[in-house]
Copies of this chain bind each other. A is one copy, B any other.
Amino acid sequence: MARKNLFYAQSGGVTAVINATACGVIETAREHKDTIGKVYAGRMGILGALKEELIDTSHESAKDIAALRHTPGGAFGSVRYKLHSLEESAAEYQRLIEVFMAHNIGYFVYNGGGDSMDTANKVAQVGKKMGYDITCVGVPKTVDNDLPETDTCPGFGSVAKYVAVSIKEAGIDVISMPNTKIFILEVMGRHAGWIAAATALAGPRRSEPPHIILFPEVPFDEVRFLELVKENVEKYDNCVIAVSEGLRWPSGRFVSEAGSTDAFGHQQLGGVAPVLAEMIKNRLGYKYHWAVADYLQRSARHIASAVDVEQAYAMGKAAVELALAGSHGEMPIIVRESDEPYKWSVGTVPLEKVANVEKKVPKRFLTPDGFNVTAACRRYLEPLIQGEDYPPYKNGLPHYVKLKNELAPKKLKTQWEPPE
């Protein structure tokens, strides 16, 4: 088999461990120099391929590539760019194939969420039509944990650990301060409440924070919520709440769009935590504190889950091995063998089963009232935050690698223009 190059791209929101996947891809590719030539990484994800901005990772030292394993963010840049459908914009896919042909790319490894898996599939179809053979595999990634088929998504375990540790620590703070009755932590999760659910790991007992969890899957019941807050404060002297950014009213409107406007008539700034805090203060009069973790949660490599890092790396490695085996249109997944002791293996799934499917927190993981999680949910979540995988430190700060990111010389005469 002729030696071909491999194209790798990071897509969508980045995570604390997506670079561990990149590390797995590149290190594994380097072990197969007979079949895989260079690994080109897309500068800013798929845009890098469209613009023929290919980062030549062969310029990076083995040491720097190894350091990707403990470096958060997307080392080559990511992008939220959704390729149009094949019908709408065949030109986009053709452009990709032209770039791949020009750079002798025979493997396309796409690291992202549900949309990206759909893209990977289409690239191959177009390649075939153009008489160019390219093996496409997907690699799962998303802090939202909403990909189907796989037991979990690399990136999620580390966010889960971050939010559980954070709410545990903040909960201890609140208990120490008798005047503060309410603490609200807003976490990511526009459609799926997995991250909010993970805060439950901070305390298994009803008396321990978080006392209330609010999910995007459960329409917000303000009356019952306020009753519960009051009950918790009366029983435990405080109430710690975790809320998904995607919490919605029964009407479907986001609670973060509180319907309020500022002095200039602008819609009030996002953030569901401050909306709930104000609601509690107005109705119950309790003194509150709130935090919005935003990017801090998904970039917190300093407190990454060792299991998550290991799985992220394993997915990258498996993707290259699948590509080498010619397993076109597949995605490696994490298969849970047992909860306790936690055992997992690497499986595969056809991309079409993953594309555009969103896995939400199922009913059996939520308590009947919808304000907390069940024991089954804890059993599912607990293994995912196990182990600490600390980055090295230098001068008091984590030492994260910054790659050279040198672009390969362009070969095409044409420039790519984004469609409207």
How far is B288's CA from A298's CA once the two chains are assembled, in angstroms?
16
Any B CB within 8 A of the CB of A329: no
Contact of A271 among B161, B174, B274 (CB under 8 A): B274
Q: Does A333 reach chain B (CB closer than 8 Å)?
A: no
Stretch with Cβ within 8 A of B (4 or more), from A29-37, A367-375, A388-396? A388-396
Residue on B nearest A71 in the bound complex, by CB: B172
By beta carbon, the residue of chain B nearest A186 is: B292
Q: Cβ of A170: which chain B residues have Cβ within 8 Å of it?
A: 294-296, 299
Interface size class of A (residues with CB under 8 A): 35 or more
Whether A177 contacts B263 in the complex (CB less than 8 A), given A165-B302, A172-B73, A274-B271, comes out as no
Q: Is the CB of B289 within 8 A of A295?
A: yes
In the complex, residue of chain B having the shortest beta-carbon distance to the beta carbon of A303: B302
Cβ distance A342 to chain B, nearest Cβ, rounded Å = 10
Point out the residues of chain B lying under 8 angstroms from A179, CB to CB.
79-80
A94 within 8 A of B: no
Q: Kindly state whether residue A74 has any CB partner on chain B within 8 Å.
A: yes
How far in angstroms is the closest Cβ of chain B from A311?
14
A78 & B177 in contact (Cβ 8 Å cutoff): yes
A16 partner residues in chain B, CB cutoff 8 A: 169
- Point out the residues of chain B lying under 8 angstroms from A64, CB to CB: none
Q: How far is the CB of A179 from chain B (nearest CB, A)?
A: 6
Contact check, B263 vs A74: say whether CB atoms are below 8 A apart: no
Q: Residue-by-residue, is A293-326 near B (CB-CB < 8 Å gives 1, otherwise 0)?
A: 1111011111101000000000000000000000
Of A111-119, A134-142, A347-355, A379-387, which binds chain B?
A: A379-387
Closest to A174 in B: B295
Shortest CB distance A9–B (Å): 12
Copies in the complex: 2
Give the distance to chain B from A299, nearest Cβ to Cβ, in Å. 4
How far is it, in angstroms, between the C-alpha of A77 and the C-alpha of B237 when the chains are bound? 12
Complex contact B80–A177 (CB within 8 A): yes
Which one of B165, B258, B269, B299 contacts A173 once the chains associate, using CB atoms below 8 Å? Answer: B299
Contact A269 B274 (CB under 8 A): yes
Instruction: Determine which residue in A172, A262, A264 has the highest number of CB atoms from chain B within 10 A of its CB, and name it.
Output: A172
Task: List residues 177-231 of chain A with CB under 8 A from any CB of chain B.
Answer: 177-179, 183, 185, 201-202
A266 within 8 A of partner (CB): yes
Instruction: Write the chain B residue with the least CB distance to A278.
Output: B269
Question: Which of the residues B78, B260, B294, B387 comes within 8 Å of A264, measured between beta carbons?
Answer: B260
Q: What residues of chain B lie closer than 8 Å to A291, measured between beta carbons?
A: 291-296
Tell me which of B177, B178, B201 contacts A397 (CB under 8 A): B201
Contact between B400 and A382, CB atoms less than 8 A apart: no
In the complex with contacts A262-B278, A290-B294, A293-B296, A72-B165 CB distance below 8 A = no
Interchain CA distance A274-B290 in the complex, whole Å: 13
Q: Verify if A44 is at the interface (C-beta below 8 Å from B).
A: yes
Chain B neighbourhood of A397, CB < 8 A: 161, 164-165, 168, 201-202, 385
Nearest first, the 8 A-B pairs at minimum CB distance are A260-B262, A74-B176, A73-B172, A385-B396, A269-B274, A291-B294, A169-B299, A173-B299
